[in-house]
Structure 1
């Protein structure tokens, strides 16, 4: 393990567009389902539904948070609907699987999605059983990243010392609260939607384009 990370005991990863590349365009399918849900809920066309969706995403961190705040949407119903997608766009990346499995210490997924969906994705990626747990939007009490309370809540629930933790994310703004807690932060700058929004000086310790290559570098370094 590379010397600068030899103290790390907790390896915390975002899920979508982090453990798989945005080129899989899985979120495009979820986006479509969100649009359909909002169009039905608000009796609007898909153009207006997308405007509403993206507005909530920017303002609240997730579309769901905005829908809950303004329309009292049942989160379970919403998430079951939007995550009802095929996962055939995803494939195993043996390099990512092997290097994550080789990381010393605990491995955790921290996602604004829900655990049933995350577990399906992990299985499809060949990462089923590699992670200790998935800390999801329900456990966050629907306070999504980047709301700081959720990060502290996760650390308390899982007995995580931030100073011994790495957080890996494709969305730069979601790294800010992690860094404020004392985590080492890794930004996967891979071109995902709004990935570079909210970049702040001093909040990112490592900026990398390819997760697998970075993991190979740190696990093979003396």
Structure 2
């Protein structure tokens, strides 16, 4: 898959030289040659504008090195750091909902939520399995927070995601409405092809194996070896690896895990993907 640089000079489907003549595509030239000869092949297309030729040569070579087509990004505590406090605030609102709307004793809620998290993947799935619950009401309540008080855009993250030659999707156990609000607050809402949310993968959720199968089907990618899952939860990256995806654990500090790679700095993401 090719990701074109932001320039009207280049078109993957139809390519013309600066003289206006159709010619062999840059990708074909790069596949047939390598190293200095590769750059010379691209330079033939723009003899009077070597900077454009070199820029495009680098772009094509990068795409040829990348074996992945699809990257799934987790949302909460991944696209923003845990230190932002948003996910903690969401969990507090889960406690309030269970106490005030469902009648759970306050002192039992942490234990119940932990049990449901371990057994069902999320508190919500556990509540659905064992109690009568209005899913839309629950999700609307727990996510009803002023995001501007928690989130600020990260220009580095935006630049990294925008530069990837892959199809990028959000894959979250939250709902679409929350994901859209978070992406807007982070100034990332234009960088993702779609959102695979908790409703799209129902009745499953991460880290259930079925959730990855559904996510790939929705992404139109049948080969898990061409997919990447970036998440902040160990058991999700472990499950992703077992499902055949390349898994990357994202955290602010190094942590031992069974993920295929570990990421603490978004600047390192492209290098990790290129080396595989």
Q: Shorter-chain TM-score: which interval?
A: 0.7 to 0.9
| Residues 190 and 209 in structure 1, CA contact (< 8 A), matched pair in contact too | yes
Q: Which residue of the other structure, out of 178, 188, 198, is the alignment partner of 1:127?
A: 188
Pairing 1:183-222 to 2, within 5 Å after superposition: 183-190=245-252, 199-200=257-258, 204-210=259-265, 212-215=266-269, 217-218=271-272
- Structure 2 residue ranges without an equivalent (≥5): 1-60
Shift of 1:3: 9.4
Deviations 1:144-202 (A, max 9, x none): 111111111111222113111111010010112321232111011336xxx97xx44xx
TM-score by structure 2 length?
0.71
| Residues 103 and 219 in structure 1, CA contact (< 8 A), matched pair in contact too | no
| Residues 15 and 110 in structure 1, CA contact (< 8 A), matched pair in contact too | yes
Deviations 1:80-135 (A, max 9, x none): 11111111210011000011011002000000000110010001111011100000
Residues 1:165 and 2:227 are matched in the alignment: yes
- Structure 1 residue ranges without an equivalent (≥5): none
More deviation, 38-47/152-161 = 38-47
> What SS does the aligned partner of 1:7 have?
coil
Shift of 1:219: 8.1
TM-score by structure 1 length?
0.87
Residues 1:50 and 2:110 are matched in the alignment: yes
Shift of 1:138: 0.3
| Residues 65 and 274 in structure 2, CA contact (< 8 A), matched pair in contact too | no
Shift of 1:140: 0.6
| Partner residue in 1 for 2:89 | 29
Distance in 1 between the 2:203 and 2:182 partners?
Answer: 21
| Residues 11 and 108 in structure 1, CA contact (< 8 A), matched pair in contact too | yes
Shift of 1:48: 2.2
Report which structure shows greater RCO (CA 8 Å, sep ≥6): 1
Deviations 1:188-222 (A, max 9, x none): 1336xxx97xx44xxx2111223x2323645899x
Shift of 1:29: 1.0
Shift of 1:2: 7.3
More deviation, 54-63/111-120 = 54-63
| Partner residue in 1 for 2:143 | 83
| Partner residue in 2 for 1:109 | 170
Shift of 1:73: 1.2
| Residues 68 and 228 in structure 2, CA contact (< 8 A), matched pair in contact too | yes
Distance in 1 between the 2:65 and 2:169 partners?
Answer: 17
Shift of 1:59: 2.0
